[in-house]
């Protein structure tokens, strides 16, 4: 998400209710690490393979609009 994206607080009014994003790709290419960096600002070189499904919900402020993303 380009400039102007900020992490919002979960009690914010949502201007656009939900955007759903699915990351797909071969195993061991970094899908979970991309999600961790974006949703929690974390990164680990020692992560293990995701066996099931990983899911994050976060609220962003983009161009003064609150947007909820399910990734």
Tell me the two tokens of residue 14. 């949502």
Q: For residue range 9-34, what is the model confidence (pLDDT) as tens digits?
A: 556 676 777 889 999 999 888 899 99
Query: Which residues are CB-neighbours of 40 under 8 A, at least 6 positions away?
Result: 56
Please tell me the predicted confidence (pLDDT) of residue 3. Answer: 45
Q: For residue range 28-51, what is the model confidence (pLDDT) as tens digits?
A: 888 999 999 988 999 888 888 888
Element holding 66 (H helix, E strand): strand 65-70
Higher pLDDT, 52 or 41: 41
List the chain domain ranges: 6-70
Please tell me the predicted confidence (pLDDT) of residue 9. Answer: 55
- Paired strand residues for 7: 60
First to last CA, the chain: 13
Domain 6-70, classified CATH 3.40.50.2020, yes or no: no
How much is the pTM?
Answer: 0.63
């Amino acid at each position: 998400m380009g400039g102007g994206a900020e992490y919002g607080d979960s009690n914010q009014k949502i201007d656009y209710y939900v955007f759903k994003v699915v990351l797909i790709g071969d195993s061991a290419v970094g899908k979970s690490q991309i999600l961790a960096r974006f949703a929690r600002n974390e990164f680990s070189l020692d992560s293990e393979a995701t066996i099931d499904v990983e899911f994050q919900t976060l609220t962003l402020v983009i161009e003064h609009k609150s947007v909820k993303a399910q990734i």
